[in-house]
Structure 1
Amino acid sequence: MCAAPAAETGLQVQTTTARRDGGRGGRAGRSAREGHAIAQKPFRQPRRPYSFTEAVSADGLEAIHDASMRILEEIGIDVLHEEVKDIFRKAGAEVDPGSDRVRMDRGLIAEAIATCPAEFTMHARNPAHNVHFGGNSVAFAQMASAPNCSDMDRGRRPGNQQDFRDLVKLGQVFNIIHLSGGYPVEPVDLHASIRHLECLRDFATLTDKIFHVYSLGKERNRDGIEIARIARGVSHDQLEREPSVLSIINSSSPLRLDTPMMQGIIEMSRRNQVIVMTPFTLAGAMAPVTIAGALAQQNAEALAGIALTQLVRPGAPVVYGGFTSNVDMKSGAPAFGTPEYMKAAIVGGQLARRYNLPYRTSNTCAANTVDAQAAYESVFSLWGAIMGGGNFIKHSAGWMEGGLTCSFEKFILDVDLLQMVAEFLNPLVVDDSTLALDAIRDVGPGGHFFGTAHTQERYRDAFYAPLISDWRNFETWSEAGSPTAYQKANRLWKEALAQYEQPPLDPAIAEELDDFVERRKAEGGAPTDF
């Protein structure tokens, strides 16, 4: 049986507790912005101006939907949580006596998901970093929950607090990263019972963007919600009106909803915080070997979890998540950035739109080093995500080894790719100015446009300026030492860290955060056995 990867569930490794270092306070600073030494545009969400790609016909989509309904009605799904079974039973589901098996008909599912919001806004402690979910909006989150990290200088190593903090800082520096999707690397040098407290305090102080709370026991959800509330300086009522944290919920494929994940839905949805319901379905392993069958199973599991959010609190914000790929049938290892992955990502978007839900997908690869494989698999993953209608693109920057490692250099390569995608999504402007007939008339046949007023007025921002791509000719590039993309990315992440400054935070809020975290640590944090 294949287990869900750390990239989705979050690790809980028992290790020695480490002390905090560095001051928190209200240290003034600034986030990356226009004019920063590293070229980037101001923080903004791209919007998709193009039509969605569709990988199956309307009839094919309905066939997948019908198969999903038959799975839930005829086969059912195991629910490993007594309160959730009772919630489903009261809603009209059939719960086998003395068993975890729950069957629910399509009417129950349709009625429940009818209350899901089609679009909503998440609120950061810096309102300029609020993020819209749904419609044509796109949001990128850096990689989440790798057990290892790597860079060119130090190689591959287990996750630790310092690397965690450095990656969080990089997520703050780059404006194309809109929010956190989880810990970019698991700091396994922190004891699992208090790790979430240290990490969430870092998110709340080292960044002013939206962050993620793991659903690994209700205590972690409650702590994360309270840390978000304190960091924003708002009341409990305002927090419930303004969703501020999200949690990824993975079903335990095939066809199981486990206890900590169901606790997460209950705790988050009751407080009107965001659930991203994402089955982890690998065709050939935890799902049928056919992509159509894997998608039918994905859809059944996703809709069961989404329905639960609405049974807990009608109108609670929820996102339809797709994470279907295939395995290498020779080794059983997960494969990403494959043609099958792209098709699944696109159909996942079709399904999300059928139910009028925001859609989550991912930027992934299976490469073991930052090489051509890492690049082309990520490009294919991201293309499927974007053209499939992804609103929330998880694991957007840093993902390596099928989710087992977060690479500092890959983070920079992905940032460059994300910035390129954002520029691609800018609508092409066609008007008298851009058609440039006067400039063409002035130059005439056989001339060039370098010196025209039209060019001089626009050349600074006319084209995307890449972070990594080297456009010099061979001789000039050779004279500069023939630098590779890997080497340039290595230099850039160090430059970005050197330029990081902590965003300002009211000293009273910082003190309240510290008091809450230290109190919860003294109480023992969260259980580590489920």
Structure 2
Amino acid sequence: MNAPVSRRSGGRSARRAARAAPLSQDVRPIRAGLEGGQYKPLTDRDMMRIHETALDALEQIGLADAPQSGIDIMTAAGAILGDDGRLRFPRALVEDMLAKANKDVTLPGRDAKHDLNLSGNRVHFGTAGAAVHMVDVDTQEYRDSTLQDLHDAARIADQLDNIHFLQRPMVARDITDNREMDLNSIYACCTGTTKHIGISFSDPAYVQDGLEMLYMIAGGEDAWRARPFVSNTNCFVVPPMKFATESCEAMEQCIRGGMPVLLLSAGMAGATAPSTIAGAIVQATAECLAGIVYVNAIAPGHPAIFGTWPFGLDLRTGAMSVGSGEQALLSAGCAQMHKFYGLPGGAAAGASDSKLPDMQAGWEQMCSNVMAGLSGLNMVYEAAGMHASLLGFCHESLILGDDLIGQALRCVRGIEVDDETLALDQIRDVCLGGPGHYLGTDATLSRMQKDHVYPTFGDRTSPKEWAEIDKPDLVEKAKTRKAEILSQTSAARFAPDLDKALRARFNIHLPQ
């Protein structure tokens, strides 16, 4: 009586082992850069109306608080400085700068296998944010985030197939000097992953030091400019419709230093942006169009990401609602506007209002990640690990998010319809003299890896089997995987002579 069970268990174990083996890129069912664009919450007429309204806002309202350098740059290009100090942008100027904008951006990784092609509807998922807390899954408490936490997040992200880039997800609160925090954040990320990295500068005075560090890491300024593997995440506006003076000054230096920029407009719908979804998209679009003028007036064709990041607000309490359906619609609608202009774009999706990696986090993260992917969003920021409405980050949730994003990417890939997938020959063979089922057929076995995404941590056992293997817990599995990753030497670590030179030039806080 035990023999059938043994055979079934052995076959299942063999299948699990096969699924655990790394797959070549041509076999993998999902990968970075899958084409989205299937989901379109906005009609063509809707997009045209948003575009025209954004142009009206730029012409009639404009933006305040540009630095003097920015005023000089943009007025020389054709912007108009009003008596009220606001810069206004004629339609013709915006159209001219859109024509000059880089529409075929590739963000390099330190390792070329991680390069991100942002053309068309290619979708990439990654981290982002400026969380100030870490989630301790053992105590269910929040504590201040540290530089080591940031470095560990980079090392974990480097090992996750479905996390395609690392934008700094948390602030190193244990470094009180802002210059040292900025420089150590670059170091911690770059020694943790060879994927593309996004960083911020807290003061324009620190940009040149940051560029010097990156030139050293790249092997010289020319090598850096050829493959800038770090981009500047720049909140160049303070919604509604104001430039962030110091951030703009930092952006100008980053552009001249060869660093790609993310033009980030992060209004709060109902607070610093209109409460309607369409209105929030209009304002974010207008602000980012002003950024396109700014960037291309400095350096035509400089790589810039159209970063419309409007966030939702719970109007009952004033709390952020990043895990809501409204947030998912905001980001999907923004992705359509990116395609309307033919520009590489990014928005936020995948963050949760839940404080822990629980069921609420799961439904919130999946909803917006799937919708963002289906909309063809090039850069899906905050896609994993982010909790408490962007206040907390969780390493274990980052690991579990890799599984979740894998399923989202399978939705993005969609349904292929051709002679082979329509499967008439299979149906004929099985039904006419065949076994009457498709289990174990050559056709089924040959496509089981190509067509299906198998979760690493998600559990598909029966209740009986689940009990027999001691009822494994998702978070416990993630803790084990985290320990495995962090027990290994980082593949992104610097050569000893480079590390020594960096430590001699900068005050690096991470231990050797």
Moved more, 254-263 or 85-94: 85-94
Question: Which residue matches 2:189?
Answer: 203
Is 1:415 paired with 2:399? no
Report how far residue 497 of structure 1 moved. Answer: 2.6
Q: Structure 2 residue aligned with 1:296, among 248, 267, 282?
A: 282
Check conservation: 1:204, 1:228, Cα contact below 8 A: no
Moved more, 459-468 or 312-321: 459-468
Q: Structure 2 residue aligned with 1:396, among 377, 383, 387?
A: 383
Question: Which residue matches 1:15?
Answer: none
Moved more, 211-220 or 286-295: 211-220
Provide the secondary structure at the position in 1 that maps to 2:311.
Answer: strand
The 5-angstrom pairing of residues 181-200 of structure 1 reads 181-182=167-168, 184-191=169-176, 192-200=178-186
The 5-angstrom pairing of residues 143-182 of structure 1 reads 143-154=128-139, 155-182=141-168
Moved more, 509-518 or 209-218: 509-518
With the length of structure 2 as denominator, give the TM-score of the two structures.
0.86
Question: Which residue matches 2:338?
Answer: 352
State how far apart, in whole Å, the 1-side matches of 2:133 and 2:122 are.
31
Is 1:109 paired with 2:94? yes
CA spacing shift, 1:56–1:436, aligned 2, 3 Å: closer
State how far apart, in whole Å, the 1-side matches of 2:373 and 2:171 are.
28
Moved more, 101-110 or 137-146: 137-146
Count of paired positions: 483
- Alignment-mate amino acid for residue 384 of structure 1: M
Provide the secondary structure at the position in 2 that maps to 1:180.
Answer: strand
State how far apart, in whole Å, the 2-side matches of 1:393 and 1:517 are.
32
- Alignment-mate amino acid for residue 80 of structure 2: E
Check conservation: 2:108, 2:116, Cα contact below 8 A: yes
Question: Which residue matches 2:117?
Answer: 132
Q: Specify which structure has the higher proportion of helix.
A: 2
The 5-angstrom pairing of residues 41-56 of structure 1 reads 45-56=31-42
Is 1:515 paired with 2:504? yes
Provide the secondary structure at the position in 2 that maps to 1:369.
Answer: coil
**Cα shift readout 1:161-185 (whole Å, capped 9, x = no counterpart):** 2222221210111132222212x22
Provide the secondary structure at the position in 2 that maps to 1:150.
Answer: strand
Percent identity over the alignment is 26
- Alignment-mate amino acid for residue 131 of structure 1: L
Check conservation: 1:365, 1:377, Cα contact below 8 A: yes
Check conservation: 1:45, 1:137, Cα contact below 8 A: no
Question: Which residue matches 1:340?
Answer: 326
Question: Which residue matches 1:9?
Answer: none
Q: Structure 2 residue aligned with 1:221, among 207, 210, 215?
A: 207
Check conservation: 1:78, 1:255, Cα contact below 8 A: yes
Question: Which residue matches 2:312?
Answer: 326
Report how far residue 284 of structure 1 moved. Answer: 0.9
Report how far residue 46 of structure 1 moved. Answer: 2.8
Report how far residue 487 of structure 1 moved. Answer: 3.2
Question: Which residue matches 1:58?
Answer: 44
What is the aligned-residue RMSD (CA, Å)? 2.7
State how far apart, in whole Å, the 2-side matches of 1:261 and 1:114 are.
25
Q: Structure 2 residue aligned with 1:271, among 238, 242, 257?
A: 257
State how far apart, in whole Å, the 2-side matches of 1:186 and 1:507 are.
27
CA spacing shift, 1:40–1:249, aligned 2, 3 Å: farther
CA spacing shift, 1:371–1:40, aligned 2, 3 Å: farther
CA spacing shift, 1:509–1:92, aligned 2, 3 Å: same
Provide the secondary structure at the position in 2 that maps to 1:283.
Answer: coil
Question: Which residue matches 2:231?
Answer: 246
- Alignment-mate amino acid for residue 88 of structure 1: M
State how far apart, in whole Å, the 1-side matches of 2:273 and 2:389 are.
18
- Alignment-mate amino acid for residue 319 of structure 2: A
Gaps of 5+ in 2: 1-16
State how far apart, in whole Å, the 2-side matches of 1:461 and 1:485 are.
26
- Alignment-mate amino acid for residue 517 of structure 1: F
Is 1:489 paired with 2:474? no
State how far apart, in whole Å, the 1-side matches of 2:406 and 2:489 are.
19
Provide the secondary structure at the position in 2 that maps to 1:187.
Answer: coil
State how far apart, in whole Å, the 2-side matches of 1:435 and 1:93 are.
56
Q: Structure 1 residue aligned with 2:466, among 454, 467, 477?
A: 477
Is 1:287 paired with 2:276? no
Check conservation: 2:385, 2:401, Cα contact below 8 A: yes
**Cα shift readout 1:480-525 (whole Å, capped 9, x = no counterpart):** 333333333333323333345433643333333333324x99xxxx
**Cα shift readout 1:432-451 (whole Å, capped 9, x = no counterpart):** 66566665555436633334
State how far apart, in whole Å, the 2-side matches of 1:70 and 1:515 are.
53
Question: Which residue matches 2:437?
Answer: 448
- Alignment-mate amino acid for residue 397 of structure 1: A
Gaps of 5+ in 1: 1-34, 522-530
State how far apart, in whole Å, the 2-side matches of 1:359 and 1:493 are.
31
With the length of structure 1 as denominator, give the TM-score of the two structures.
0.83
